[in-house]
Amino acid sequence: MRSPLRSLSRSLVALAVGLGALTACSASDEPAGDSLVLADPYEDDTLNPLMGFAEDGMSKIFDGLVTHDAQRKVVPALAAEAPKPSQDGLTWTVRLRSGVVFHDGSTFGPEDVVATYRTLLDPAAASPLASSYQMLKEVRQTGPDTVEFRLRHQYAPFPHKLVLGIVPSEKLTGGPLESSPLNTRPVGTGPYRLAEWRRGERLVLTANERYWGGAPAIKRVTVLFVPDDNTRAQRMRRGDFDGTVLPPALAGTFARRDGMTVHGHDSADYRGVMLPQKHPVTGDLAIRRALNFAVNREGMIKALLAGRGTPAYTPVPPALREYADPGAVFRFDPDEAARILDAGGWRTGPDGIRVKDGRQARFTLMYPAGDSVRKMLADAFASDAGRVGIKVDLAGLGWDAIEPRMDRDAVLMGGGTPLDPDLVAHGLLHSSRAEDGFNNPGSYRDEVVDKALERGRASLDPSERADAYRTMQRRLIENPPWVFLVFLEHTYVMRDGWSGYQPVVDPHVHGVLTWGPWWNLEKWRR
Amino acid sequence: MRLRALRRMALVRLAVAVPLLLAVSAVVFLLGAASPFDPIYQYYGTRIFTAAEADVARTREALGLDEPVWRQYLDWLHGAITGDWGISRTFGQPVAEVVAQRLPWTLLLAGAGLALAVLIALALGIITAWRPGGWVDRAVVAVAHSLEGLPTFLLGLGAIAAFAVALPLLPAGGVSDGTGQGGVAATLRHLALPALVLAVAQLPWLILTLRQQLLVSLADDHVTAARARGLPERTVVLRHGLPVALLPFVTTVGTRLPELVTGVVLVEEVFSWPGVAEAMVKAGLSVDYPLLVALTLLATAAVLAGNLLADMAVVLLDPRTVRR
């Protein structure tokens, strides 16, 4: 039996330790019920939307004029209503919400919208996002609560571009954005404000009690940066976090754990083999078609991705139901691949590699050396190609080394967004973007595809747009530009006890502070 | 007399330091130019995959990345002389701010590491020299010799494996607990392992030097005389033997400073310590000239100042060094 005196002295010690801890940290301890701890492998270099922070929206700190709902529909945020296009589609008018304040207490108004977008377009500011807004000519205030965007050409998906976070005009003083104080001390209108950012370690957000959409129930969000997958899994198991993103196989180990749930998100995040048209082998249509029949996409998903993924045949994900053409697919059929190669004049040579006009069916496939998923997919692709007599040499390189060779050598590339097919496909496949940086690096040119892409971005009629993108996908099966392999499924582990989770389709860029299971964190509660 | 000597020493060192720092900064720029990394990738991040060629070229121009190295160097030099150390691209904030935020953490780590190393070396050096050939002496000397050959990062990883994973006593990285609460106690717990690793990495040289010097000085005539007078052993060793041995020990601490700086780089990297050394690794990988140069100069200056302080300490401790 424990003596009362001893237990009293114990409680005194505990009290002293507790008081010591309380005085030691200046921040007040929030009750655990309204604070959330998440772990992210990636850390942004900057928190300035004009420098590219959360370019697809959902940033928690900032609001765009619009945002998206769980079905990826555009809904007004800092706009009072949906953006309205003019008759010719060249001007979009946005009426702004009133009574919104920034985290620093200043009032949100049209001058902030104008300043944000003008800085984006200012060459002296050197915003890395400028290329994504090439359609935008100018922006101006046209009334006490309206702004007008003038476009260079008709651009139907323009409302999706209005997710760009709005910053206060007083913080934009001209000059290069790289010296902007917003990079580390962001000021937005979003549901959360930045409380602390210790690089390489953690970022703390606290609720914006004056948020126009209502103060969030979760008052404190701590994001810990833990790059190593195994460390993250270990600490998740120990209960250090309420949630994190993990590779499929590691996430699977949590499936039968009490009090934890694994969520898989479909994504528009494709992986595929870009085939350069200038290479004499990959520039041959028979080779490109045969490769598309020769690769076992389902097998790759099962063997390499723990079953977490969807086969990809074009850059338009099946999740974009209104645009995806269910008929635009390749079946896994190595015999058909062999027939196509035979008909194309590629005969099997003495060493098993096919030959045409004295040239071997052989090319180099580059992949970013640090990316284990791309390396595995590249290995699997090379082995499937080898089975039909096409020899693929692999080269793991850094992007600096890959870029100058992209017009001649194949690359395992990735990307994609579920918001609109134009955002994915135009830069990738339109002939006008051939060899424009990383856009259409293989110089793919197809008149039918070009026409469909132009029709899709110019028309404001949803059914005509859907028709244009379906036409494009069918053409991409006849004249394949790449061998698209998979749309990855992103996997997350979450501790139970929180409500508000709503599944979404992720873009390429995902994680804790953007798209992902915590996209609507401001609506969560315990 | 002694004060004048100290001043002269400081002036001579300063005269050497200025051209040396200039040369170091120029070499950093030259090495950066030869590096295979392109800073534009750092600036764009994932945005590079959708950026248009023309926009990337314009950005290069706006950021001055297309200028020849010598031009970039002169621009930087001009700024540095006028007190503007430039903007760190890796961190998106002024270099002065990055250094101000991170230097305290590095000083804490390096200071704690150095203090631990000196204290442990003093204790073990005295014990081993006092009873040479005893089991403590043999054990310490053997361990010290084997530690000499062990790289610091291996020591760090070993310490993590032992004290953070196998025996989860101490945190494996960072400076505070996950939730950001815990205050000073949490910081001390996080400091323990990296500081200890840093200290242990420096220990062999310090212990062996002190032991050797003590062995020599304990054989000196004045120590024999002290023993003959029947003074207690404590007094003989600490008052008569140790002061003579301390002089070369202080010099050794000074010459070990460059090693301490490299040690800090490795230890900060292994333990994700948010100091300047960790920032240096990042700056190097993304050819962030302003930050890279500032941190290299800082490290060089720390070594120069450390050596100067050690030599000054020797002058203060031992008047004989002035009479040359």
Predicted confidence (pLDDT) per residue in A104-161, tens digit? 999 999 999 999 999 999 999 999 999 999 999 999 999 999 999 999 999 999 999 9
Which residue is closest to A203 within chain B, CA to CA? Answer: B180
Choose among A21, A400, A437: nearest Cβ to B56.
Answer: A437
Q: Is A5 on the interface with B (CB under 8 A)?
A: no
Question: What tens digit of pLDDT does each residue of A48-75 get?
Answer: 999 999 889 898 999 999 999 998 899 9
Asked if A308 contacts A489 with a C-beta cutoff of 8 angstroms, the reply is: yes
Residue A453: C-alpha distances to residues A394, A508, B82 (Å): 32, 21, 53
Is the confidence at residue B231, as pLDDT, over 80?
Answer: yes
Average pLDDT over residues B218-233: 85
**In A122-262, where does DSSP find H-type helix?**
158-161, 229-238, 248-252
Q: How far apart are CA A119 and CA A140, in angstroms?
A: 13
Choose among B48, B63, B180: nearest Cβ to A178.
Answer: B63
Contact A25 B183 (CB under 8 A): yes
Residues in A touching B46 (Cβ below 8 Å) = 52, 508-509
pLDDT band at A2 (very low <50, low <70, confident <90, very high): very low
Contact A24 B183 (CB under 8 A): yes
Question: What tens digit of pLDDT does each residue of B304-313 get?
Answer: 888 888 888 8
Q: How far apart are CA A303 and CA A288, in angstroms?
A: 24
A383 or B224: which leads in pLDDT: A383
Average pLDDT over residues B38-59: 86
Choose among A126, A240, A509: nearest Cβ to B178.
Answer: A240
Burial of A463 (0-12, 13-18, 19+ CB in 10 A): exposed
Q: Is B79 on the interface with A (CB under 8 A)?
A: no
Average pLDDT over residues A320-344: 93
User: Hey, which residues does B288 pair with through a beta bridge?
Assistant: none
What's residue B1's pLDDT? 65
Contact A131 B49 (CB under 8 A): no
Contact A52 B44 (CB under 8 A): yes
Contact A131 B176 (CB under 8 A): no
Q: Is A200 on the interface with B (CB under 8 A)?
A: yes
Contact B58 A52 (CB under 8 A): no
Choose among B42, B49, B94: nearest Cβ to A438.
Answer: B49
What's residue B230's pLDDT? 85
Helix, strand or coil, per DSSP, at residue A354: strand
What's residue B182's pLDDT? 58
Which residue pairs, CB below 8 angstroms and at least 24 apart, start in B161-166? B163/B193, B164/B193
Q: Is A21 on the interface with B (CB under 8 A)?
A: yes
Question: What tens digit of pLDDT does each residue of A330-340 get?
Answer: 999 999 999 99
C-alpha count within 13 angstroms, C-beta hemisphere, residue B218: 21
Interface with chain B: mutation pick from A199, A235, A429, highest number of B CBs within 10 Å: A199
Question: Whole-number mean pLDDT of chain B?
Answer: 84
Average pLDDT over residues A511-522: 90
What's residue A164's pLDDT? 95
Average pLDDT over residues A367-374: 87
Residues in B touching A178 (Cβ below 8 Å) = 43, 63, 87, 89, 92
Plot region of A310 (φ>0 → left; ψ -120 to 50 → alpha; else → beta): beta
Choose among A26, A128, A240: nearest Cβ to B47.
Answer: A128
Contact B37 A400 (CB under 8 A): yes
B314 or A295: which leads in pLDDT: A295
Choose among A45, A401, A415: nearest Cβ to B45.
Answer: A45
Is the confidence at residue A444, as pLDDT, over 90?
Answer: yes
Choose among B41, B51, B184: nearest Cβ to A131.
Answer: B51
pLDDT band at A27 (very low <50, low <70, confident <90, very high): very low
Query: Identity (one letter) of the amino acid at A274?
Result: M
Average pLDDT over residues A66-91: 93
Query: Identity (one letter) of the amino acid at A156?
Result: A
Which residue is closest to B172 within chain A, CA to CA? Answer: A231
Q: Is B57 on the interface with A (CB under 8 A)?
A: no
What's residue B178's pLDDT? 58
User: Hey, which residues does A490 pair with through a beta bridge?
Assistant: A265
Q: Is B35 on the interface with A (CB under 8 A)?
A: no
B312 or A218: which leads in pLDDT: A218
What's residue A68's pLDDT? 94
Which residue is closest to A56 within chain B, CA to CA? Answer: B47
Interface with chain B: mutation pick from A30, A45, A231, highest number of B CBs within 10 Å: A45
Q: Is B55 on the interface with A (CB under 8 A)?
A: yes
pLDDT band at B322 (very low <50, low <70, confident <90, very high): low
What's residue A423's pLDDT? 92
Residues in B touching A222 (Cβ below 8 Å) = 178-180
pLDDT band at B319 (very low <50, low <70, confident <90, very high): low
Which residue is closest to B60 within chain A, CA to CA? Answer: A126
Q: Dihedral angle at the C-alpha atoms of A50, A52, A53, A55, nearest 10 degrees?
A: 100
**In A344-429, where does DSSP find H-type helix?**
372-387, 399-402, 421-429
Interface with chain B: mutation pick from A131, A180, A509, highest number of B CBs within 10 Å: A131
Is the confidence at residue A245, as pLDDT, over 60?
Answer: yes
CA distance, residue B252 to nearest chain A CA (Å): 35
- Which of A170-184, A344-358, B261-275 is least confident? B261-275
Is the confidence at residue B20, as pLDDT, over 70?
Answer: yes
A142 or B286: which leads in pLDDT: A142
Interface with chain B: mutation pick from A30, A34, A202, highest number of B CBs within 10 Å: A202
Which residue is closest to A45 within chain B, CA to CA? Answer: B91
Residues in B touching A46 (Cβ below 8 Å) = 92
Angle formed by the axes of helices A462-478 and A447-458, nearest 10°: 160
Is the confidence at residue A88, as pLDDT, over 80?
Answer: yes
B181 or A116: which leads in pLDDT: A116
Question: What tens digit of pLDDT does each residue of B99-129 get?
Answer: 998 899 888 999 999 999 999 998 988 888 8
pTM, rounded to two decimals: 0.80
β-strand pairing of A35-40 with A243-246: parallel
